[in-house]
Amino acid sequence: MKCFSSKSILRRIMFWNLLSLMLVEVCGFINCYLFSCSLHFFIFYHVLPTGQPVGIYSAPLKQVVQKLPSASSSDYAKFELTLGDLMTTKEHEILKPSGKIRFAVLVSGRATAKQGSRASPNRSRSGYIQISPSKDGPWTNMKLNYAVPAACWRFGDCVIASEATVKEGNRYVGIRSLVSITNTTDFAIDLRLKGRDSQSAGSDGQLENSDKDDQIEVGVLEPGSTIPVPLSGLSHPGVLYTLQLRPTIHHELVQHSWSDVQERRSQTEFRNEQVLDICVSDLYESENLLFCSQIDGSSSTCQGLWFCLSIEAKEIGKDVRTDPIYDWSIIIKSPLSLTYYLPIPAHYTVSASHLDEEETSCSRGELNPGEVVKVQNVDPRNPLYLSLVPHGGWESVHEPVPISHPTEVPSKFINLRSSLSGRVVQIMLEQSSDKDYLMARVIRIYVPYWISFARLPPLTLQFVDITGRRDKRRYLARPRAEKSDKLLYGIGHEELVDGYTIASGLNFKGLGLSACVSRNGQQLGALKELSPLADMDGTVDLSAHDNDGKCTHVFLCSKLCSYQAVPTKVIYVRPYTTFTNRVGQDMFIKLSAGDDPKVLHAYDRRVSFLYSEVGPDKLQVRLEDTDWCQPLDIVKEDTIVIAMRKQDCTQKFVKAEIRGYEEGSRFLVVFRLEPTDGPIRIENRTSNATIGTRQSGLGEDTWIQVKPLSTRKYSWDDPYGQKAVDVSIQKGDVTSFQYVDLENPVASSTSFGEHGVKFNIVETADVTILKFTDYHRRQEGSPESELVASTLTQNETETGAGPLELIIELGVVGVSLIDHKPRELLYLNLQKVFISYMTGYDSGTTSRFKLIIGQLQLDNQLPLSIMPVVLATESMPDSNHPVFKANIAVSNVTSNGIQVYPHVYIRVTDQTWRLNIHEPIVWALVDFYNNLRFTGTSSSSTVTEVDPEIRIEDKA
């Protein structure tokens, strides 16, 4: 490990279009601990003025650093520039020289603290960066402003901006001018600055005749990119530069002229000129319209591209006269953008006439869900019309509607009619435009409702108007409609496109719905009122039948769509219960008592079934080598173990995870193969008694026989039944029966001694043991009984004392660590915390403490941290396998001061833990520790240290 003098490492500094050479000085007292062979210093060099990187220089820091004398000032120190070779930065290309660069890396030569001693807080200072347009200054201190988007600094006679970001552990400092250009179009745009006197000479595309001295090439701006304006174009003392652009289309042999500013619809409130060029050194907030014609000898506006320029300002500081300093943004936009928020594709046409003729068409094509189409070849000052036809049998009711017109109000909707069902849907057109200023028009296309179908057989829905009913409470579910009910429309399976269709506004308060399985007829199910869907958490369930008497249980819920820009709701039509098989083999399933068995294949995921409504709706499953399990009600989220009996009367276990409200369904049941050890173990340690057990309330075929000196695995046949067992004790020809309530075992197990059997329950971490042993009667007054009685009197509490248990359950617990500033350093999030303390256990001889933490996550709360999560598991733990579980039993009986722990169980999840430690949090915690004040302890304390003795004995 080597130590270099550095306190803040500037990993990479990116310099944009300021000068062809800039000096950067890293000053300050620095301590840096390196965990690699050497630290490399990276320099990216960008060509002026395009901003494109042309080379990179990398070298070990110790080879290029220059140490300043301790007595000299960094502002006036003498140093030499290092000459380095730039290498190409292009991918998939052999490294080759691409130029040279001169730079200097300076480190203060002030005395450092001795290694191993704690540095004084007053002597430790953060480093800083100095910038200057020349080696001789003036130098300006520049801070790394992480908290604000941009900060302004003096750069010679000019003012520049800096932006600091952190990406993948590297700190990037971008230095740029106060004017930047952003391209939001789909074209690569060539930019240049043109002197105002020679602008007309180059506007016709004849660049060879223009004055090269009055022209600054900014470069090609790719879509979605931002580039700053060169500082030389903003601060030239004698020439005012204006911005010009033209599109660059590589795949077409079409060239366009440099842009001309066009007359807007109305005069601005800032200037009186009719048409103003965009002077980059004299900007004001405005909207501008630019046109680039094709270079083919034609002056027609149809043969060209239009652009809208939005000039915006943001105050980032004040000068010495307290005048605001603005950071200017020039945003290049398309004159017309169509944002499509429908779930099904559609064909669109933008034309200059309402007749929808092909010769007047400006743009046409396909709109996909979530897609944005930017139209460049339209003049937003002229009339524009839109035609839209979605897939799925839709057709337009009227002619194309106006979306831009100098005298008419743009249309706010398009009416469509389904050729399959005849229902009419209104598509909303929401425009973002301003009458006073010419702005790029953005049209959002959406509908009030989507209807989404998935994992269901083909259904037909019928929407009924039930506003005429007198008492709606009596008709929440009617087998058939009333005379006052009015059928509004139906939605068939043939209208769906990828499981979606669209609908207009729905008044759920007066709307009813019935459904049927459309492939075998039109036998509609019960009519359900949809008023619960008006609430965000409302749900509706109904049944859909076919002509064979089979039905499927349907679940409806409404949520907002995934596009946050529009107020569209989605009505999800899903199965009420779906099933996923993770057992590894095919399963058989029945959904009612009289239902036919169905196969749930080993590869099935979230599937549903049609079933017969004969008998109560209860779930039964079995494997190929087992019988059917007991009928189960799926009524809540839970995790249960399903026991199925094999031919040899043994049990096979399958775990069922019942999840709620996943992907639109009310329940999702996931079957997994449970380990061979069940949650209950029956131990018969008697010498001559056969023990039989069954869950109370079940039939005679559920008895399990356990021979003497043997054990059996067991699980509840009915997970939601009584938590009690019937016990049969067979000794020869004599059979006796006992009833044991496992939730109150003390009161129901006292009579076992009459039959020569002792019964007790042992709870371990994962298994509950029902233990049966021989009960030995002793004669009263014998020496042995007196010894036992004496021992119990000395070391045990009263047998009649019942246990007392304190349970604390917390859903979410959050703990923050805050330092003296104050500033939040760490945040500990605990979920599903269970704390239990029981005293009086085992007849008062034992106390138990149990702690369970379902999920644990430690977060780094420092701003702009690249590693926000310090400690967490790789994946989300399930409810049955918490990240931490501890069960400790403490004996209340002590002998000679020895504390006995009969049972210590600590379990940490076997999942992978991810630990991320970022260097700033380490220094923040060290600073937190240094500022702690322990006023409760005294340095003169006379407390002596005692080493405890821990002894672990294995009593087999």
CB 506 within 8 A of CB 538: no
Q: Where residue 182 falls among pLDDT bands split at 50, 70, 90?
A: very high
DSSP assignment of 491-527 equals: E-GGG-BTTEEEE----GGGEEEEEEETTS------E
Give the integer Cα–Cα distance in Å for 716 and 680: 8
Give the integer Cα–Cα distance in Å for 305 and 511: 50
**Greatest extent of the chain over all pairs of C-alpha atoms, in Å:** 129
Q: Where residue 780 falls among pLDDT bands split at 50, 70, 90?
A: very low
Q: Tell me whether residue 17 is in a domain.
A: no
Same domain? For 296 and 400 the reply is no
Taking 50 as the threshold, does the pLDDT of residue 11 lie above it? no
Pairing of strands 151-155, 158-167: antiparallel
Taking 70 as the threshold, does the pLDDT of residue 798 lie above it? no
Residue 537's Cβ-count burial label (10 Å; 0-12, 13-18, 19+) is exposed
pLDDT the model gives residue 738:
87
Whole-number mean pLDDT of the chain? 78
Same domain? For 833 and 746 the reply is no
Decide which of 919 and 9 is more confident: 919
| Bond from prior residue into 49 cis (ω within 30 degrees of 0) | yes
Same domain? For 298 and 149 the reply is yes
Q: Tell me whether residue 163 is in a domain.
A: yes
Same domain? For 438 and 530 the reply is no
Q: Where residue 699 falls among pLDDT bands split at 50, 70, 90?
A: confident
Q: Tell me whether residue 67 is in a domain.
A: no
> Where is the domain boundary, 733, 754, 774?
774
H-run or E-run covering 799: none
pLDDT digits (tens, 9 = 90+) for 544-553: 988 888 899 9
Same domain? For 605 and 629 the reply is yes
Same domain? For 546 and 594 the reply is no
Tell which residue, 591, 559, 563, 588, has the closest CA to residue 575.
Answer: 591
pLDDT the model gives residue 332:
95
Tally of residues, the chain: 956
Residues 137, 142, 145, CA angle at the centre, nearest 5°?
A: 165
Decide which of 601 and 903 is more confident: 601
Q: Where residue 484 falls among pLDDT bands split at 50, 70, 90?
A: low
Tell which residue, 366, 364, 361, has the closest CA to residue 384.
Answer: 361
| Segments forming the whole domain that contains residue 594 | 577-673
Q: Tell me whether residue 46 is in a domain.
A: no
pLDDT digits (tens, 9 = 90+) for 279-335: 998 899 888 999 999 886 554 445 789 999 999 999 988 888 888 999 999 999 999
Give the integer Cα–Cα distance in Å for 862 and 847: 42
Same domain? For 625 and 691 the reply is no
Q: Tell me whether residue 97 is in a domain.
A: no
H-run or E-run covering 445: strand 441-446
Q: What token pair was written down for 320?
A: 């010495």
Give the integer Cα–Cα distance in Å for 551 and 612: 6
Decide which of 385 and 109 is more confident: 385
Sign of the dihedral defined by the CA atoms of residues 446, 447, 449, 453, in that order: negative
Same domain? For 653 and 705 the reply is no
DSSP assignment of 576-608 equals: SEEEEEESSS-EEEESSTTPPPEEE-TT--SB-
Q: Average pLDDT for residues 558-581, to the nearest whole number? A: 93
Q: Tell me whether residue 289 is in a domain.
A: yes
pLDDT the model gives residue 446:
95
Q: Which contacts of 216-219 are long-range, i.e. CB under 8 A and separated by 24 or more positions?
A: 216/49, 216/192, 216/241, 217/49, 217/50, 217/191, 217/192, 218/49, 218/50, 218/181, 218/191, 218/192, 218/193, 219/49, 219/50, 219/51, 219/52, 219/190, 219/191
**How many domains is the chain built from?**
6
Give the integer Cα–Cα distance in Å for 195 and 820: 57
pLDDT digits (tens, 9 = 90+) for 451-477: 999 999 999 999 998 887 655 444 444
Same domain? For 654 and 744 the reply is no
pLDDT the model gives residue 198:
52
Q: Tell me whether residue 136 is in a domain.
A: no
Q: Tell me whether residue 270 is in a domain.
A: no
pLDDT digits (tens, 9 = 90+) for 12-21: 333 333 332 3
Same domain? For 704 and 668 the reply is no
Same domain? For 546 and 642 the reply is no
Share of the chain above pLDDT 70, in %: 75
Q: Where residue 57 falls among pLDDT bands split at 50, 70, 90?
A: confident
Best-predicted range by mean pLDDT among 150-159, 484-493, 614-623? Answer: 614-623
Decide which of 791 and 895 is more confident: 895
Same domain? For 702 and 648 the reply is no
Q: Average pLDDT for residues 430-455, to the nearest whole number? A: 82
Give the integer Cα–Cα distance in Å for 292 and 279: 18
